[in-house]
Amino acid sequence: MRIRTLLYFLPALVLALCVSCQKDPKEGGSGSAPVGKTTVNFGTGRYMNGIARPFSLKTGDEVALVHAVSGEQSVAKPVSTGDNTSVYLFNLKKPSKGDVLVGYYPAAAGVSVGSDAVTLPFPEVQNGLNVDPIYVGSTKNTGDTYAGNSITLTPMTSLVVAQVQKGPYLVTKAEFRGNGGEGLAGTLTLDLATMKVKDGTEKTIAVSPAEEVNCFLQARTIPILVPPMTFPSGFTITFTLSDGTTAEYTTSESVEFTPTTVFYTNPASSGRQLLAVGGGRVYLINEKLASATGNYKDGLLWTWVARDHATEIGRSISEDDHMDDAKPVDNNKNILVTSSNGWAALVEIETGKVLWSAIGISNAHSAEVLPGGRIAVAVSDGVDQVKLYNRSTPNSALASYPLKSAHGVVWSEKTQRLYAIGGTSVQIYKLKNWESSPELELERTVSSSGFVTGLHDMTLVDENTLVMGGNQAALFNLTSQSFTSLPHFSSYAGIKSININSATGEAYYTYGWSGHSEGDFAWSTHTIRYTDDIYANDGGVDKKTIKVDDINMYKVRVFTW
């Protein structure tokens, strides 16, 4: 009878026991099964030298998993190895379904997880050697012990490959900083919701290579590890060189680095760079290296060959295409190339790509970028005009303005005027109806007679001064609109290009006229010339020359002083 009674009450007893064993979530329980099985996937990593490699798990590759609300943490090793994905068996008791879980690798990385942010160390001092990044990721707890959780850990690094131009120096240090003063190293703070970098305790990253980087024979690179973040105002890299000078790369455009981004900078350089133009080629030359031997090839940095881009320009181009100018514009990102064989082009230096072109303009001699996306082209004998174009529209001129033997155009940001030269005339234009139906309105014509005739070239010296060259050379004051002769050039005729450093009185220039030419034409030369004193009454003696003997050179431009 007793046995029968127990059997009768057993189901009710079991039910009561089960109920009594359940924990009330409000009294310290989680309401979910413990977090255990979790599939961890590692995103692609990159070595510091930019070589991509998949993440291959090893036995000791411990991952930490943290409950963001309580801070409870568990560390586990991979169940399988040899791939970038493995199941990990964690032991977290506090997470509820939907709670945020943060994972990171390596487990000893010094990562801290809070309720709304994650912090991690990021090296503000580096040596350019290979470094494995810290991987971080987040997921929401599924609450399902059978299916488990899945989390992707992303490397919290990007790579900037900082290039330094060929030159007579060693690089001892590279320093990276955001132009907006962003915190980018030291202790980084990531927003928990987006896992994006919000701030850092240090504002610079300094790389001191294990060995000084020798740039004598070729351009070199220095790897800089940076966090995945956005620099709205761009960034700057300053290179310290063994000769006591610095070189700098900077961009003012917004740059977004995402995890595993590899960003290659344009080459930075120390010292002067010259653009030599003639025939069908443009050469970028390191002046110091070339001057050491007098041969441009020893300092050659970059070449642009016109016939390689004939299709982009829209015409057939010969090897010797009588290019007569290559003017740096757009903060030295592009050059404006003109050819007396009938075309003009805007060329991107980094890629060599033609961004804009105009054809059918015989004797194009120089061009200039104007505000609002416009370009002016000086077109000489036979056309005798200044032509106006939209840089977004190839070939179609907006307007033309007469100027006998037009050879040069220069825009002054200070005066908001376009200056154009031809013969002995300096024409000064102001902009009219520029936003709607753009025009150039001739404001004044100034004669250069008595100072310089046969005007062939004009460049800005400073914000208030132009230099003009032809038969002799002179400075032109933009305020007083008056000329000052330059004694060094008093015996020169046929000056084709002239560039002056206002701070030092130095100049680089070319000339060529009948009986004094070195190339195949009366106007051509094989020599870039230099003086350290434009005011010296020295009979025009060159202090230094650089030979460019494989093109019929017309002009030299100073790319960087």
Give the pTM.
Answer: 0.74
Look at residue 330 in the predicted model and tell me its pLDDT. Answer: 94
Percent of the chain scoring above 70 in pLDDT: 93
- Give the pLDDT score at 50: 57
Three-state SS for 46-66 is ECCCCCEECCCCCCCCCEEEE
Q: List pLDDT tens digits, range 214-230.
A: 998 899 999 999 999 99
Q: Which residue has the higher pLDDT, 244 or 205?
A: 205
Burial class (CB in 10 A: 0-12, 13-18, 19+), 398: middle
Pairing mode, strands 425-432 and 439-447: antiparallel
pLDDT in tens, 323-362: 999 999 998 999 999 999 999 999 999 899 999 999 999 9
In 94-164 the beta strands, taken as DSSP E runs, fall at 100-105, 112-113, 117-122, 125-126, 135-140, 149-155, 158-164
Total Cβ atoms within 10 A of residue 362 = 15
Please determine, for residue 200, whether its predicted confidence score (pLDDT) is greater than 80.
yes
DSSP 249-269: EEE-S-EEPPTT-EEEPPPB-
Residue 52 confidence (pLDDT): 64
**pLDDT exceeds cutoff 50 at 13:** no
| Separation between Cα atoms, residue 545 and residue 527, nearest integer Å | 6
Going by pLDDT thresholds of 50, 70 and 90, the confidence category of residue 63 is very high
Tell me if 42 sits within 8 A of 132, measured CB to CB.
no
Q: Give yes or no for residue 19 having a pLDDT over 90.
A: no
pLDDT at 22: 37
- Please check whether the two domains, 29-115+133-155 and 158-264, share a CATH topology: yes
Query: What distance in Å separates the CA atoms of residue 177 and residue 180, rounded to the nearest whole number?
Result: 9
Neighbours of 73 (CB within 10 A): 16
pLDDT higher for 514 or 411? 411
CA distance 435 to 432: 8
CA distance 159 to 413: 37
CATH class belonging to 29-115+133-155: mainly beta
Q: Would you list the domain boundaries of the chain? A: 29-115+133-155, 158-264, 273-560
- What whole-number distance in Å separates Cα of residue 507 and Cα of residue 527? 14
Question: What gap in Å lies between CA 503 and CA 524, rounded to an integer?
Answer: 29
pLDDT in tens, 270-299: 789 999 999 999 999 999 899 999 999 999
Question: Measured between alpha carbons, how far is residue 287 from residues 221, 270, 300, 481 in Å?
Answer: 21, 10, 9, 33
pLDDT score for 25: 37
From residue 3, alpha-carbon distances to 6, 15, 558 in Å are: 5, 19, 109
Residue 365 exposed, middle or buried by CB count within 10 Å (0-12, 13-18, 19+): buried
pLDDT digits (tens, 9 = 90+) for 350-397: 899 999 999 999 999 999 999 999 999 999 999 999 999 999 999 999
* Cβ contact 512:497 at 8 Å: no
In CATH, the architecture of 158-264 is: Sandwich (2.60)
* Cα(479)–Cα(379) distance, integer angstroms: 27
How far from 138 is each of 62, 88, 158, 194, 209, CA to CA, in Å? 16, 15, 19, 9, 35
What digits encode the pLDDT tens for the residues 453-507?
999 999 999 999 999 999 999 999 999 999 999 999 999 999 999 999 999 999 9
Q: Report the pLDDT value the prediction gives residue 33, as an integer from 0 to 100.
A: 81
DSSP 504-551: TTEEEEEE--TTS--SSSTT-BSEEEEES-TT--STT--SEEEE-TTS
Report whether pLDDT(14) > 50: no
Residue 538: its pLDDT value, please? Answer: 93
Task: Tell me the pLDDT band of 53, cut-offs 50, 70 and 90.
Answer: confident
Out of 3.40.50.720, 3.40.50.300, 2.40.30.10, 2.130.10.10, which CATH number does the structure's domain 273-560 have? Answer: 2.130.10.10
pLDDT of residue 132: 76
Name the band, by pLDDT with cuts 50, 70 and 90, for residue 48: low
Residue 244: the pLDDT is 84
Length of the chain equals 561
**Banded pLDDT at 243 (limits 50, 70, 90):** confident
Q: What is the pLDDT of residue 319?
A: 87
| CA gap 559, 561 in Å, rounded | 7
What pLDDT does residue 17 have? Answer: 35
Q: Which two tokens stand for residue 143?
A: 């609450």
What integer is the mean pLDDT of 534-559?
96
* 411 contacts 418 by C-beta, under 8 angstroms: yes
Across the chain, what does the average pLDDT equal? Answer: 91
pLDDT higher than 70, residue 60: yes
Angstrom CA distances, 211 to 75, 123, 176, 198, 387, stand at 38, 19, 19, 33, 53
What pLDDT, on a 0 to 100 scale, did the predictor assign at position 32? Answer: 64
Give the C-alpha separation, 41 to 345, whole Å: 49
User: Average pLDDT, stretch 522-535?
Assistant: 96
